[in-house]
Structure 1
Amino acid sequence: MRTTHWLAKCFVISLPLLGLLAVVVWLNGCFFFNYPKVSHNKSVSSLSQVRVVQHFMGKTIVPAHPQRVVVLSGSCLENALALGIKPIAASKSFVSQLQRLVGPLSGIEDVDWLSPSIEKVLFLKPDLILGMHFHQDIYPLLSHIAPTVLAPPGTTGAWKESFAFTASVLGKTKIAQQVMDNYYARLTQFKAKMGDRLNTTLVSVAELRTDALWLWAKASFSGVILKDAGVARPYSQTLDSQATLSLGGGPAAYALSEELLSELDGDILFLVSEDALGKRDLHPILEQLKAEPLWSKLKVVQQEKVHEVGFYWVQFGPLAANRMIDDLERYLVKQQ
C-alpha cells in the first residue's frame, strides 16, 4: 500500500513535467539519430574557431564566424542586418517591418519571436541562436540545439548597447565601430548645417497608439538620437525614466491626455503615425486627433510643421537611426 501510494503521488506531481520531458527526450533522439551536434562539437573543434561570450544566462562558447544564425527579436534582427549578416530565420513580423527600411529580405524562414517552434529551429540546424531575456524559459531547449545567447533587458534607448552586444556575439565589432562612426559623422554634419538654430528649435516627438497619444522622452530610442543631434526638446519630453513611470507610462514614454495637448507643442513635431508591425490602421485615430479643438491651437499645427514619420522613430537600431537622421536633414535643414 505504501509503495502504491508513493508511486501515485509521484505520478501526480510529475504529470505537468511530462510534456517538457517529452520534448527534451525527443530533442536528444533527434540529435542522436539524425545528425551530430553541429553547434557544439564541430564549432568547438578548435579554440581559434570559437569565442566565449557573457550574456543574460551566463557564459557560452559560440562560433567565431557563425554562418547559420537564428534571431528571435526585432532588435537582434536589425543589428545583424546592420552588421552585414542575414539570419536564416526570424519572425515574419520583424522581417516585414525591416523590409520597409532595407528592401526585400528573401530566404529568411519564419520563427515566432515569443513562442518559437523548437522543432522548426532544430531542423534549420543553426550554429548560433540569438534571443532575449524573456526566452529564458526555453533556453535549455534552445541551447540543446545550438549555442544560444540571450540579450539582457533594456529600454529602446539602450540601442547602442544592444548593437554592441550583438556585434560582440557575432564577432563583428570592427564593422560595428564603422557603423557607429558613420552615425556620429552624419550627426556632426547635421549640427554644422543647423548652426545657431540647433539650440533654439524645439523638436517634439509623439506616437499614435490605439489607446492614446504617447510622448517619447529622453530615455527613448528617438530621445537618445535627438540628444546626440544636439537639438532642443519641449520640457514634457525631457523627463527621465522615474518621471515617466510616475506618470503611469514606461521608462521611456508616457500617454498624454487630451486636455494636455499643449505640452506636445514645439517648433516641429514628428508624429509616428505608422503601426510598427503594420497590423493596425491608425488613420482613424489620426483623424480623431486632428478633430480635437486643442489640436488646431498648437503653434506647430498652425505653422504646418507636423510631419508624419514611420516606426523607425521608435525602434530598433542603427538602420532606424540613420532613417531618423534622414528626416532631421529633410525637415530641419532642407526646409528651413
Structure 2
Amino acid sequence: MIPPTRPAFCPARKFTAAAALPFVALLAASCGNSFNDTGDAETRAFTHSQGVTEIPVEPQRIVTTTDQNALLPLLELGITPVGSAGIELDGGQIRFRRTDGYDTTSVEPVGPYGAPNLEKIAALNPDVIVGYEYDSDMYDDLSAIAPTVLIQVFDRPLDDALLDFADLAGETDRAEEMQADFRARVDDFLDKLGDRKDTLSISLISQYEPGQFNRVDIGQATGTVMQALDLLRPAPQQGPGDFEDYSIETLGQHDADVVLVFDYSDDEGQRADNPLYNSPVFAELAATKAGQAYVIDGATTVGAAWGKMIAFLDELERILLAEDLRTDVVIEN
C-alpha cells in the first residue's frame, strides 16, 4: 500500500499479483467454469482505459479495487459493491476512505488499494471488477477472476469519469442530474464572486512527506472545480501539472491571496494538527500573515464524487465570499 503520509488521492504503487494466480485457477476449476464466463447473463461491450470488455448489462456483484476512486462513485449512485479495497491502517484494518454518510457494512474488505487480495476477491464471486487506470499492472490478474474494467479517473474532468461509472451501473439519468446540479452551483458561485474573480488568487497544497508538499488540484473533485471556476493561481499551479513533490523551501512560490492546506488525517480515523499549516515556513507566507490561510478537510472535499465537488464549493463559498476578504495580499504577474 501507499504509506498514509503519501497523497491520499495519488495513484497506488505498482503491484504484481502473479503469486496468487495458482489459487485463482484452482478456485475457478473447482467451480466448474471460468471466472470470465458471464453465464446466461446478458452482456454488453464497455469501453475503458484498458480497451473494451464484455460486462453484464445489470451487474449484481461488483468488487472495487479502490475506495475513493471506485467504491465511492458507485455508492453515490445507490450501488453497493459486495467488496472493495481500502486504506490499510497501522493495525491491519481496512478503512474505506471518503465514504462517510454511506452504509458500507455489507461491503467486504479485500485488502489495501494498490495491492488487493486476489483470493478474497475471487471468493466473492464477482460478475465485474471495477478499478481505475493505476490498477493497470494487475489488470490481467483481475481479469482472470471476472470481467474487469478500469475507468480513467485522472487526467480528465471528474464529471466525465463519473458518467462512466454511471454508465456501468445503469444510472446515467441520475448522474446527469447530479452533473446539471453541479454546473448550476458553479454558475451561481461565479455570479456571487463577481469582479473578485479577476483579482483573487488561490493556492491549494498539502504535505505528504516531511520537507515536501504537493498541489491538490490535479484531477478529482478539487481539480474539476478549479478548472470550472478558472481562478487565478500561483505560477507553479498553472496548467494541468502532475503529482510532483515540491521542496518546502519553495513554498513561497505557492503564496496567494488565499492558501488552502488540505489535511487527510481523517482518512485514518483521527484528525491531527496539520504539520505544514503549523510550520515556520508556512507562517512566513503573505496569506498566513493576512489571516487568509485555511486548513481544509480532504476527507470531505477530495474524492471521485459529485458530493465532494459540492462540499469543496461549500468551502470556497465560505472563504472566498467573506466580506472582509482581501484580494491584494500578493501581486500576481
TM-score range, shorter chain: 0.7 to 0.9
TM-score for the superposition, normalised by structure 1: 0.76
Give the match for residue 202 of structure 2.
Answer: 203
How far is 1:130 from its partner? 0.5
How far is 1:299 from its partner? 2.3
Greater relative contact order (CA < 8 Å, ≥ 6 in sequence): 2
Give the match for residue 320 of structure 1.
Answer: 308
The answer to whether structure 1 residue 299 and structure 2 residue 286 are counterparts is: yes
Q: Write the distance in 1 (CA, Å) between the matches of 2:284 and 2:27.
A: 62
Stretches of structure 1 that go unaligned for 5 or more consecutive residues are: 1-17, 45-49, 242-250
Q: Write the distance in 2 (CA, Å) between the matches of 1:28 and 1:273.
A: 43
Change (3 A) 1:287 1:143: closer
Q: Write the distance in 2 (CA, Å) between the matches of 1:274 and 1:19.
A: 33
Give the match for residue 120 of structure 1.
Answer: 120
Give the match for residue 88 of structure 1.
Answer: 82
Change (3 A) 1:265 1:65: same
Q: Write the distance in 2 (CA, Å) between the matches of 1:316 and 1:103.
A: 14
Supply the AA of the counterpart residue of 1:310: D
Equivalenced residues, count: 298
How far is 1:109 from its partner? 0.7
Supply the AA of the counterpart residue of 1:189: D
- Listed as ranges, the matches of 1:39-188 within 5 Å are 40-44=38-42, 50-73=43-66, 74-93=68-87, 96-100=96-100, 102-112=101-111, 113-152=113-152, 154-155=154-155, 158-188=157-187
Out of 252, 258, 272, which is 1:262 matched to?
Answer: 252
Change (3 A) 1:171 1:20: same
Root mean square deviation of aligned Cα: 3.1
Give the match for residue 190 of structure 1.
Answer: 189
TM-score for the superposition, normalised by structure 2: 0.77
Which is further off, 110-119 or 173-182?
110-119
Secondary structure at 2:79's aligned position in 1?
coil
Q: Write the distance in 2 (CA, Å) between the matches of 1:19 and 1:95.
A: 25
Give the match for residue 8 of structure 1.
Answer: none
Q: Write the distance in 1 (CA, Å) between the matches of 2:69 and 2:319.
A: 27
Secondary structure at 1:98's aligned position in 2?
coil
Change (3 A) 1:254 1:284: closer
1:203-256 Cα deviation digits (max 9, x unpaired): 111112223342427644424312312422222321443xxxxxxxxx254414
Larger Rg over CA atoms: 1
Supply the AA of the counterpart residue of 1:172: E
Retained in 1: the 8 A contact 2:158–2:219? no
Stretches of structure 2 that go unaligned for 5 or more consecutive residues are: 1-17, 88-93, 325-333
Secondary structure at 1:40's aligned position in 2?
coil
Using the aligned pairs only, state the percent identity.
23
Q: Write the distance in 1 (CA, Å) between the matches of 2:80 and 2:19.
A: 33
Q: Write the distance in 2 (CA, Å) between the matches of 1:38 and 1:215.
A: 40
Change (3 A) 1:297 1:59: closer
Change (3 A) 1:38 1:143: closer
How far is 1:21 from its partner? 6.2
